Amino acid sequence: MDINFELLDLRAFLAVYEFRNFHRAAELLHLSQPALSRRVRNLEKRLRVALLERSTRHVTPTAAGRKFEPMARRMLDELEMSLASIGGSKQQHSGQITIASLPSAAAYFLPALMNNFRKQYPLIRLRVLERLIADANQCVLRGMAEFGINAADPTETDLTFMHLVDDPYVFVCHREHPLAQRRFVTWKDLCGPPIVGIARDVDIGNRNEFDDAIAKANLRLNWACEVSNFTTALQLIEAGAGGTVMPYMAVPLLRSAKVTIKPINKSLTRSIGIVERRNGRLSPPAKHLRHMLIIECERYQRSIRR
Residue 98 maps to a domain = yes
Return the pLDDT at 296.
80
Residue 128 maps to a domain = yes
pTM, two decimals, is 0.63
> Residue 172 maps to which CATH number?
3.40.190.10
Give mean pLDDT, residues 280-295.
Answer: 84
Instruction: Output the CA–CA distances (angstroms, integers) from residue 278 to 58, 135, 181, 284, in the order listed.
Output: 38, 17, 48, 18
Q: Say yes or no: 203 and 280 in one domain.
A: no
Q: Say yes or no: 49 and 190 in one domain.
A: no
Average pLDDT score over the chain:
82
Q: Say yes or no: 130 and 51 in one domain.
A: no
Which long-range CB contacts under 8 A does 204-209 form with residues at least 24 apart? 204/132, 204/133, 204/134, 205/132, 205/133, 205/134, 205/151, 205/153, 206/133, 206/151, 206/247, 206/270, 209/268, 209/270
- Domain end: 44, 62, 80, which one? 62
Q: Say yes or no: 176 and 228 in one domain.
A: yes
Specify whether the CB–CB gap between 81 and 95 falls below 8 A.
yes
Q: Say yes or no: 275 and 160 in one domain.
A: yes
Percent of the chain with pLDDT over 90: 19
Q: Say yes or no: 137 and 171 in one domain.
A: no
Residue 95's H or E segment, with its range, is strand 95-101
Q: Say yes or no: 189 and 255 in one domain.
A: yes
Indicate the number of domains in the chain.
Answer: 3
Residue 185 DSSP one-character state: B
Residue 1 maps to a domain = no
Phi, psi values for residue 89, rounded to 5°: -95, 140
Q: CB atoms < 10 A from the CB of 125, how many?
A: 12
Q: Say yes or no: 276 and 155 in one domain.
A: yes
Q: Say yes or no: 159 and 277 in one domain.
A: yes
Residue 2 maps to a domain = no
Q: Of the spans 92-101, 136-145, 199-208, which averages the highest pLDDT?
A: 136-145
pLDDT tier at 6, thresholds 50, 70, 90: confident
30-39, 116-125, 275-284, range with the lowest pLDDT: 275-284
Q: Is 152 helix (H, G, I), strand (E, B) or coil?
A: coil
Range of the domain at 51: 7-62
Residue 281 maps to a domain = yes
Residue 295 maps to a domain = yes
**What residue type is assigned to position 216 of the chain?**
K
Residue 16 maps to a domain = yes
**What residue type is assigned to position 289 of the chain?**
L
Residue 94 maps to a domain = yes
- Domain end: 15, 35, 62, which one? 62
Q: CB atoms < 10 A from the CB of 55, how many?
A: 7
Encode pLDDT of 146-198 as tens digits.
999 998 776 777 888 998 888 888 999 999 999 999 999 988 888 888 888 87
Specify whether the CB–CB gap between 213 and 187 falls below 8 A.
yes
Q: Say yes or no: 37 and 77 in one domain.
A: no
| CB-count burial class (<10 Å; 0-12, 13-18, 19+) for 249 | buried
Encode pLDDT of 74-92 as tens digits.
777 666 656 555 555 455 5
